[in-house]
Amino acid sequence: MATNVETLKQEEYLGSETDRLGTGEADRITNMGGTPDDRMTELLELLDHYEVAPTVGRYYTFIYSAKTPGIRYDEFPLIACTGVYPWGFSGLNYHWGDFHNYTWEELGSYLYLIYPNELEEARTIPYQKIVLNR
């Protein structure tokens, strides 16, 4: 069961030794076959810490459904949060390699926390799902 960690202090986050993707878990998810949906489901089962609103300087993955018609977007982004605003937040999307904006209304899940020492492993899992919004 996932736990809300909204009160986690930034120093605790940065210094955490939490590593849910070590001991072969990232490799297991990568090699399990199936679809990006399957890999995202497996990943979210491991990521037991979430936040409702992001904190600048933290890493997250989540489910997203863009509202703008005719654009390609990542349904399962892996981001470094760079800004929080009344309309949503922005971040570096590691699947795209550039910055994107995310609005609150289009979030399809909690923001699942990736700890700093998990980022490298998370980036090896091919769970990005690039779709065209119609």
Enumerate the domain spans of the chain. 3-132
Q: Which pLDDT score, from 0 to 100, does residue 7 have?
A: 76
> 7 forms bridges with which residues in the sheet?
none
**Nearest partner of 114 among 79, 65, 82, judged by Cα:** 79
Q: How confident is the prediction for the chain on average, in pLDDT?
A: 94
Q: What is the mean pLDDT of residues 59-66?
A: 96
Rg (C-alpha) for the chain, rounded Å, is: 14
Residue pointed to by tokens 């997203």: 64
> Which pTM was predicted?
0.94
How would residue 120 be classed by pLDDT, with cut points 50, 70 and 90?
Answer: very high
